[in-house]
Structure 1
Amino acid sequence: MNMPKKLHTPKRFGLLLVGSLVLLVVCMLASLAFGSRTVGWDELLDGLFRPAVQSYEADIVRQRVVRTVFSFMCGAALGVSGALMQSVTRNPIADPSILGVNTGAALFVVVGIAFFNISTASDYIWFALAGALLTAAFVFGIGSLGRGGSTPLKLVLAGAATSAALSSLVMAIMIPRSNVMDQFRFWQVGSVGAGTMDSIMTFLPFFIGGIVIAILAAPSLNILALGEELATGLGVRIGTLKLIASFAGVILCGAATALAGPIGFIGLLAPHLVRLVIGADERYIIPMSALTGAILLTFADVAGRLLGSPGELEVGIVTAFVGAPILIALTMKVKVRGV
């Protein structure tokens, strides 16, 4: 029996984990310090640890704390969501945006704005989750039709076709309604700048629940990687495992998309980079994808502020600019099963 190779010792994984945490702290400090107004070290300490100090710079730091925490949570959620979807579909280029989940969430948010006058974080998150779940179920259902059941190629094609169709519906709803277009266009770009403490608290139960389910499912996902027939012989309930792992991935992606907009490529890049470094063990990939996704999104947010100064480039623009050529390179190099 060929179990997944343990390419790295726990000690090495620990070193990588510590290195990632250090890099994350650096990115978060940069997020607190840089923006339309750069603050110094003393002002940073005033904003973080000296509540008695009341100054313009200290207030800026305190406001950026919420944005930085929100960026960390969204990046971690998208990274884990991508890792789960790649594992379930056995497709190294699968992620929420490629499988159409982001677009499904966007459609339901537009419907909520246009017909139900939603405007709060809690409203956005329930509509987005409903859209993400229904779209994921539809894509997996379409991708499972025909001979051979679901294959990586069929799932990607089903996701691309579904995403195109839903995007058309989004435009059909928005164009006749200028008020919906005004409200939606800022959300559609993808940004962590609008994050508030209410957003964080609304996001928190979905974030914790999705991460916990992903970690608990990791050992079984390792067995699934050996092949469905062997996994079944070892006692893994394939359908149940895929359903649970997909559900965790969808609620993480849907909740993040509801509050920050459809930010692409983080769910693709984070787990792919992790696999290049630490191998194929999901017990390591899932926590490291969370850290890597948080690092990538926080760094992209800081880069957008610096590149767009004195304004800022939305983080969704930065991730798309960097992620699109990488996706093309991966598509050219990776042999997708079923091609």
Structure 2
Amino acid sequence: MADVLLVSLASTAGLRAADAGLAGALERAGASVAVVAPRAPRPVRTFALTDLAWARAARAAAARGIAEHRPDAILYGAMGAALLWPRPGAIRLDAPMAANRPGRHGLWQRPVERRRLREAPLLVAVSAQTLDETPRPHPPAVVVPIAVAPSGPSASASARDVAALTYAANPHKKGLDRVLAAWARARRPGEELWVAGVEPGARSDGVRWAGRLPAGEYRTLLRRARVFVAAPRREDYGIAQLEALADGCVLVTTPAPGPYEALPIARGLDPRLVGDDLAMAIRTALDDPAPGYAARAAAALERFGPAAVDATVARELLPALLGSAGR
């Protein structure tokens, strides 16, 4: 038997890492945790069909996990994992489908989401901004950020040999076209923008395609970069930006709708680097970085640190999970 069954959607590397981190925090709080994940379905063409395929796969994984582990409480790692659940449970949420599946993209998901929010015993939001977007009525909520920590010793700016880095696992949503256009205007001879998280694209002066990297190699690349560039069309959390700050990069970003956790931090660290003129902000970050930026970023990220998240999980989340299960 398990205290908690965590049903991980596991559809992206970010979700897999976030769920593994949450499971570890629950275990450190004293819970026995079983994690199940669906087998990846075959690719389909639309968001609606993709969500349906993953929801069906998650339902099968949850049913197997319930039968095998007989958990006291169930925690679905994402709304996509809960849409077709076999049994109600708590739902971890970074952004509701009411916000990130507009129009035909969320034709069936949005009404199902509203039912799940009425039926779930607990909502585990990754940020307070997530709750601002979440349809009501919804169950009682606990805010548990995704833990972020430095991946290793941070090099000084003078020791960093990569001028700029961007992460584009979903090129349209991450605004890769906007980043490349701004870089073409901002770069100087000898400077390179490294693009990670996506298959290599067209060759261009000053652009190096890093491809899809294992997590450790990607974080090593972050520690080599002076500037991290982001131009999302919508940001549901911004884990890549938070990791960049944790590893000592200066963050340049455009504003974006959604519960973009890194956005207010970036504005507080250096408002010159947040705006629609991405090329100018890149140049400012490279030529005139604000004094003490890395140290102030580290202080701003303390609430996302593993120790702070562990404390929230032990003090708030685990009692709420087991309480909602009748223990």
- Bin the TM-score by the shorter chain: under 0.3
- Please give the TM-score of this superposition, normalised by the length of structure 1: 0.23
- Considering fraction of residues, name the structure with more helix: 1
- Please give the TM-score of this superposition, normalised by the length of structure 2: 0.24
Which has the higher relative contact order, 1 or 2, with Cα contacts under 8 A spaced 6 or more apart?
1
